[in-house]
Structure 1
């Protein structure tokens, strides 16, 4: 029978800071960003149609939609992890980004290697979606923190 002296001492978990009173701040930008993304999707599809027809319209719209879904998924996973246990942020954030960029790479590799007429518009839609989402989110966060 082991002695109490033979047992390893338990290390306590570190004290975690209290969670904010209202955790909705993590996702409060999503409705506005989604609206901007849908406006961009409409614009991209229209521009694609006028430049290259239905295939380009579909490609441009799909590119913007891919980015919108991808960034929304990342935001929701990170917000959930931060609410449940902040220690999960790094592993879940890295996993989310790995999955997201792997899928994006597969989509782009397929699009570039195909003979589909909308492949250029798909790439341009992805670029436009990333640029607009990033700029609007940066603006939102600046506006949010500048008031404090």
Structure 2
């Protein structure tokens, strides 16, 4: 097992480790958005395709913002991770709830595919992130 200070020294020497996984997750999200667009299009036409792809995109943007903010906070001071993480979470959920209420009030037929796209984006992002942590990151 490494000495306690060794890990911190390695992290300081390799500043990019906090965002190293991001490109893989974004590529997976783009692929999922394409699959969601096809599925949404088959189920509900153009509105379904747009809604499903937009749902995946919302998830990818949300998780990317969180990742970047937490990486920034951790690089400054690890004690900032919790307050910044909670603040970003509250802001994102408030914004998402507002968007969903506004979109639902329009009666747009792409709302259900949008919600399903969000769910699919969450599953793919989380799954790929777990894969990355257990395979790629574990070898480091």
- TM-score normalised by structure 1 residue count: 0.82
Shift, 1:100, TM fit: 1.0
Aligned to 1:86: 78
Match of 2:59 in 1: 67
Q: Deviations over 1:38-77 (max 9, x none)?
A: 0000111111111111000110011000000000000000
Identify which of 128, 133, 136 aligns with 1:136. 128
Gaps of 5+ in 1: 1-16
Q: Distance in 2 between matches of 1:115 and 1:99?
A: 25
Larger radius of gyration: 1
Q: Tell me which residue corresponds to 1:41.
A: 33
Match of 2:15 among 23, 39, 61: 23
Greater share of residues in helix: 2
Name structure 2 gaps, 5 residues minimum.
Answer: 1-7
RMSD over aligned Cα, in angstroms? 1.5
Q: Separation in 2 of the partners of 1:109 and 1:131?
A: 23
- Deviation string, structure 1 residues 93-144 (Cα, Å, up to 9, x no partner): 1101111111122222333443111011001000000111011111111124
How many residue pairs get matched? 132
Q: Which of the numbers 80, 94, 97 marks the counterpart of 2:89?
A: 97
Deviation larger for 118-127 or 83-92: 83-92
- The normalised TM-score by structure 2 is 0.87
Mapped to 2, the partners of 1:99 and 1:42 lie a distance apart of: 28
Task: Describe the SS at the equivalent of 1:53.
Answer: helix
